[in-house]
Structure 1
Amino acid sequence: MGLLGILLGLSLLIWLAFRGWSVLLLAPIATMVAALLSSEPLLAHWTQTFMRSASVFLAQFFPIFLLGALFGKLMEDSGSVASIADAMTEKLGTKRAILAVVLGGAVVTYGGVSLFVAFFVIAPMAMGLFRAAKIPRRLMPAAIMLGTSTFTMSAMPGAPSIQNTIPMPFFGTTPFAAPGLGLIASAIMLGFGLWWLARAEAAAHARGEGFGDEAELRSAGELAGDETLRERATASHEFDPAEIAHGAVATANPPFWKAAAPIVVVILANLVLSLVVLPRLDLSFLAKPEWGSIQPSAVTGVWSVLTALTLAILTTLALNGRRLPNLRATMDAGVNASALPAISVASLVGFGAVVAALPAFAMVREAVLGIGGGPLVSLAVATNTLAALTGSASGGLTIALDALGATYLQRAAAIGMDPALLHRVAVIGAGTLDSLPHNGAVVTLLAVCGSNHSASYKDIFMVAILGAIVALVAVIVLGSTVGSF
């Protein structure tokens, strides 16, 4: 009955979440169903297991959600994201329209701009380029997805994404974990995705297929009123799309150098803090009980991302603050955009903690750990599966590491494996099957582009899932053969 309870609770969570029910309501209900059928104390699991685990997640990662959403909103309303997109359009032009869209999305998301902010700015750019180049509109979502939701989220070393941040407290790593493998994985994802899109474009032109219908892009305001879409979106990424319609956008975009400067600050500050500054500081005081009795490596990775985002926010305000028509409204919208996604993902984590505490989970645990191929293979399977089931890379990743992270770390230590390799495999693994059709980011992007699953999902699958799986396999093979580098 215990295993049935876990499966029933999870099925209830997946089914109703796909129908647009709030995860804030579903996660506790699914928790109670799983605990009830396991004959476990309901209220104790809700208040002592579910809430404690959710609060630990928020304590560790809410500052990342907060600063990331604020930075994204400031970059959007100041016109910086649009300026970068325009520069890509001007530089590459319609002859390389797909490449322009992919690189435009990649630059802003690797620089720390929230995914949904990038969607709403890159989509109009993509529409203009694709129409001029006579590339089918149905390929827009895949091109945007490739640039915003693949290698810049999970593979590029130093990415300030929440997914790349989550493994750091578990493994004592930095955002630049296994940089060589991360770059190889990024090259595979980007190369495979561009190859597939070029092939699809050539096939469409050979059939005489042009841009297609002239349906309008859906605006942030329209999507803000779609509560079903909003609930799906906020459980999958770190920005509440309803807040994109709030605030006020600058009437003129800044010069490219002013738009790009905050992104450069994020990347350079993260690098210097992670590899030079924080490792040289005396943080021995963290071992004292009043600071949680922790090792510095458990927090320095998060600190580097937090500091880098803070410096980028200050840079944005210094260079482009005067362009903002309503600074307070923009900042309010940015910080408000972080709250619902953070609590939604924390609720998924709470549900996972209860499941991991149930007696029947021992069977699941042994089955996962018993997968052949070593810890990297079983870790990849665990993060892939949970990200697929929850439709959330960050939620699935945290659930997997909460339940099994310490075990993987022990196994890695026993065979002399660098924890950085675990970090990179876990993040790439969580960023593959999370892009199944029910993922909130996929549903939102299709809505923004005015497309649907039947027209566009095949290409999304190829660039966001199959390409990522190829990269994941390459990293596992290389990591198992030569180790982390």
Structure 2
Amino acid sequence: MGLVGILLGLGLLIALAFRGWSVLLLAPAAALIAAAFAGEPLLAHWTQTFMGSAARFVGQFFPLFLLGALFGKLMEDSGSVASIAQFMTEKLGPSRAMLAVVLAGAFVTYGGVSLFVAFFVIAPMGLALFRAASIPRRLMPAAIALGTSTFTMSALPGTPSIQNAIPMPFFGTTPFAAPGLGIIASIIMLGFGLWWLQRVEASARHAGEGFGKEGVTSVEAAADDPVVRERATTAQAFDPAEIGHGEHADKGPPILFAALPLIVVVVVNFIMSFAVLPRLDVSYLAEDRWGSTSLSVVAGVWSVAVALAAAILTVVVLNFGRLPTLRTTMDAGANASVLPIFSVASLVGFGAVVAAVPAFEIVRDWVLGIEGGPLVSLAIATNILAALTGSASGGLTIALDALGPTYMKLAAETGLDPALMHRIAVIGSGTLDSLPHNGAVVTLLAVCGTTHRESYLDIVMVGIVGPVIALVAVIALGSF
């Protein structure tokens, strides 16, 4: 009966979340269903297991959600993201419209700008470029997804995405875990995605298909759609409802000023990870008042937090005159982090309850028994959970909460590098999470003014097939 409860709770969570119900309501309800079928005490699981796990997630990662959302909002309102997109457009031109959109999205998201901020700024500009180049509008979501939601989210070493941060406390790794394999995976994702998009574009031109349906992309309508909002906040660390708050600059900064904060994120992250933190005396962390922890557990989060804080200071100093309502912008950025972190934390709490019921041993034994070794089983576990929850961060945290210590034990016994497990877990979480119910997919289609029927196949190819190929390559290379 315990296994039936797990499946029933998960089914309820998936079905109602797809219809736009809030995960804040669904996750505890689904957890209580799983606990009830297992004959476990309901209130104890709710207040101790569910809330305890959710609170730990918030305690670990709220600084990154807060600083990431704040940085993204400042970059948007200062006009920096628009300046970068415009620069790419001017330099590459309509003849390379597809590449311009992909690279603009990749540059800003690798520099720490929230995925949804990139969506809302790049989509209108990209559509104008596609119109001028007579490229079908239906290809726009896939081009944006390739640049923002694939290799810069899960593979490039040092990416400040929340997905790349989640494994760090579990495996004691840094944001630059397995850099060589991460770069190889990035090349595969980008190369395959560009090949597919160029192939489809050439086929459309040969068939005489132009830009297609006209119509103004309604960014505001997408941001205000409650269904989009509920799905979006479980997928990424920015609440779309805050996108319209604050005042945008009339004119963006020069490209150097626009790009410098993104460079600061990468450089400071690297310096903190490899030069500053390793030289600090942090023996005090072993004391009870600091949680009896170690530098390896907190170093990754500290590195990214300091990098984002330095970038926030940089963008404010460089663009102070372009932020007439600085307090409102900062308030909106801070508010944009709240619903996403509690939505993901609720998914994590659900996973903790499921992992605590006796029937979960069946699931754990099945996962660990998958042929191919621990790397393959870890990849499959994160894939499945990300797919079911529609959230890369939620699925990844649930998998590592339940199985992280087991994989670390296996790593010690077999000589596996925790950095390799980090990179495989992150790439694995960023594949099947892009199913139709994923919040990023729903939001992207909304801001581009297209539908699943028109654009989803191309999103599958660049957002699922390409990353899966990269994941297989990393597992194969890592195994050797």
| TM-score, structure 1 normalization | 0.98
Q: Find the counterpart in structure 1 of residue 476 from structure 2.
A: 477
Post-superposition Cα deviations, 1:92-132, rounded to whole Å, max 9, x if no partner, equal 00110000000000000000000000001110111011111
The question of 1:463 aligning with 2:459 is answered no
Q: Percent identity?
A: 72
Q: Give 1:79-94 correspondences, 5 Å limit.
A: 79-94=79-94
Q: Give 1:104-119 correspondences, 5 Å limit.
A: 104-119=104-119
The question of 1:347 aligning with 2:318 is answered no
Q: Give 1:31-46 correspondences, 5 Å limit.
A: 31-46=31-46
The question of 1:306 aligning with 2:305 is answered yes
Q: Find the counterpart in structure 2 of residue 142 from structure 1.
A: 142
Q: Find the counterpart in structure 1 of residue 406 from structure 2.
A: 407
Q: Find the counterpart in structure 2 of residue 236 from structure 1.
A: 235
Q: Give 1:293-332 correspondences, 5 Å limit.
A: 293-332=292-331
- SS of 2:21's equivalent in the other structure is coil
Cα distance in structure 1, aligned partners of 2:222 and 2:134: 27
AA partner of residue 471 (structure 2) = L
Q: Find the counterpart in structure 2 of residue 124 from structure 1.
A: 124
Q: Give 1:439-454 correspondences, 5 Å limit.
A: 439-454=438-453
The question of 1:5 aligning with 2:5 is answered yes
The question of 1:437 aligning with 2:436 is answered yes
Q: Give 1:359-374 correspondences, 5 Å limit.
A: 359-374=358-373
AA partner of residue 159 (structure 1) = T
AA partner of residue 297 (structure 2) = A
Q: Find the counterpart in structure 1 of residue 187 from structure 2.
A: 187
Q: Find the counterpart in structure 1 of residue 423 from structure 2.
A: 424
Q: Find the counterpart in structure 1 of residue 283 from structure 2.
A: 284
Cα distance in structure 1, aligned partners of 2:223 and 2:94: 31
Post-superposition Cα deviations, 1:308-336, rounded to whole Å, max 9, x if no partner, equal 00000000010012101211110010000
Cα distance in structure 2, aligned partners of 1:38 and 1:54: 21
Cα distance in structure 1, aligned partners of 2:280 and 2:163: 26
Post-superposition Cα deviations, 1:8-59, rounded to whole Å, max 9, x if no partner, equal 0000000000000000000011011111111111000000000000000000
Give the aligned CA root-mean-square deviation in angstroms: 0.6
Post-superposition Cα deviations, 1:282-340, rounded to whole Å, max 9, x if no partner, equal 11111111111112100011000000000000000100121012111100100000000
Post-superposition Cα deviations, 1:397-447, rounded to whole Å, max 9, x if no partner, equal 000000000100110111111100000000000000000010000000000
- SS of 1:314's equivalent in the other structure is helix
Cα distance in structure 1, aligned partners of 2:273 and 2:339: 29
Q: Find the counterpart in structure 2 of residue 27 from structure 1.
A: 27
Q: Is the 8 A contact 2:136 2:201 kept in 1?
A: yes
Q: Is the 8 A contact 2:224 2:240 kept in 1?
A: no
AA partner of residue 470 (structure 1) = I
Report runs of 4+ in structure 1 exceeding 6 Å deviation: none
Q: Find the counterpart in structure 2 of residue 389 from structure 1.
A: 388
Post-superposition Cα deviations, 1:185-215, rounded to whole Å, max 9, x if no partner, equal 0000000000000000000000000000112
CA-CA distance at 1:223 after TM superposition: 2.2
CA-CA distance at 1:372 after TM superposition: 1.1
Post-superposition Cα deviations, 1:433-472, rounded to whole Å, max 9, x if no partner, equal 0000100000000000000000000000000000000000
| TM-score, structure 2 normalization | 0.99
Cα distance in structure 2, aligned partners of 1:192 and 1:100: 16
Cα distance in structure 2, aligned partners of 1:400 and 1:75: 33
Post-superposition Cα deviations, 1:121-146, rounded to whole Å, max 9, x if no partner, equal 11011101111111000000000000
Cα distance in structure 1, aligned partners of 2:118 and 2:401: 30
Cα distance in structure 2, aligned partners of 1:12 and 1:214: 38
Cα distance in structure 1, aligned partners of 2:151 and 2:56: 28
- SS of 1:231's equivalent in the other structure is helix
The question of 1:73 aligning with 2:84 is answered no
Q: Give 1:245-264 correspondences, 5 Å limit.
A: 245-264=244-263
Cα distance in structure 2, aligned partners of 1:338 and 1:38: 34
Cα distance in structure 2, aligned partners of 1:225 and 1:134: 30
Post-superposition Cα deviations, 1:141-178, rounded to whole Å, max 9, x if no partner, equal 00000000000000000000000000000000000000
Cα distance in structure 1, aligned partners of 2:218 and 2:6: 38
CA-CA distance at 1:225 after TM superposition: 2.6
**More divergent stretch after superposition (18-27 vs 412-421):** 412-421
Cα distance in structure 2, aligned partners of 1:290 and 1:171: 22
Cα distance in structure 1, aligned partners of 2:82 and 2:175: 27
Cα distance in structure 2, aligned partners of 1:17 and 1:154: 24
Residue ranges of structure 1 left out of the alignment (5+ in a row): none
Q: Find the counterpart in structure 2 of residue 206 from structure 1.
A: 206
AA partner of residue 40 (structure 2) = E
Cα distance in structure 1, aligned partners of 2:426 and 2:318: 33
Q: Is the 8 A contact 2:58 2:345 kept in 1?
A: yes
CA-CA distance at 1:224 after TM superposition: 3.2
**More divergent stretch after superposition (69-78 vs 207-216):** 207-216
AA partner of residue 211 (structure 1) = F
Cα distance in structure 2, aligned partners of 1:225 and 1:469: 33
Cα distance in structure 1, aligned partners of 2:416 and 2:28: 37
CA-CA distance at 1:358 after TM superposition: 0.4
CA-CA distance at 1:276 after TM superposition: 1.1
CA-CA distance at 1:374 after TM superposition: 1.0
Aligned pair count reads 480
Post-superposition Cα deviations, 1:338-397, rounded to whole Å, max 9, x if no partner, equal 000000000000000000000100000000000011110000000000000000000000
Cα distance in structure 2, aligned partners of 1:216 and 1:442: 19
Cα distance in structure 1, aligned partners of 2:302 and 2:432: 29
